[in-house]
Chains A and B, each alone.
Chain A
């Protein structure tokens, strides 16, 4: 008997309930931190300040304002205007003169830009998905991670994909941190040490 058959035989038949009905019944009114739907902007911005998230934040109008916001971030942190950016047509449409963008991340990439699908007010999470226009590796490699957030939702459930899952679907809720040595929190364990959110107010 194959291991598969042995395991399934040992588990026996299902309980006989309607699985989907029973599973759905377990999701009615889930307990979760209350989020006021009229206060999404404020709640999201406040979550970014949680010690476990610790992201900086800037609000601009739309995609056309992203290059200027990046230039300001680089100036503030003394970084060259040189970044790894995804081939996202919404970014390409902006005027990037004076800023050097490249597609492939260097092993010690200082700055990577990404566009989130949305931000989550409940947790301050940035919702990301892979696509030909959205590679994954730069977001875990760069020291500074800058994420454009065009839209906000209240809860994690509201951010879940409705269409088939992308290959990589991920929530970023802070920087690469560790408490592995004596429980002391250190930022920048492997990937980003700094997370900066550029919120596009008029895109929502």
Chain B
């Protein structure tokens, strides 16, 4: 069963100037896919469009086979699509607990309180002062809160935009640890990363986006240490 399908997907900010061009992609259930590519290739635009944050101009998106191309963002979230933006991914004027409670609203009512408690138990930094405003957290702690809330809502497909960007090496390791755990739980993961080495180590499969188009699609292991990757990045930069 495919968890996420894109067909001739075209998206961007201006219909006359699409950023993502004719992307077709099948992500099987349980797969960990990483999307790589040079700066400005359109990786963020692609996944933000899938999540309902950027206009889709043509083509379609399917979630577990169901056409959700025109579904509003909140309906996608309720249908099991989790998305964590790279920045501004928590509500800074809400408390840590309230951020988690909003995620818990995607679960059956009876499960909510226990899941919030379980998630706090898993992240001691957050549990230390759950009533503090998320805006008072450090950058790393905010990413942790964003990851915790994504985990909490139990999405079937989880898409993350550079979850390790700007974090210390120790925190990067922590983030990839928790991603590995999420993947082991059977969640389909789509990961945009600049940290190519760590992303390839985690992923089953990698695609490379260059100038809004899929330039390469291979098992992740094949790309590790592959000079092709450097060429794709450098080629695109030179162009």
Asked if A and B are interacting partners, one says no
| Contacts from A to B (Cβ < 8 Å) | none
B interface, CB within 8 angstroms of A:
none
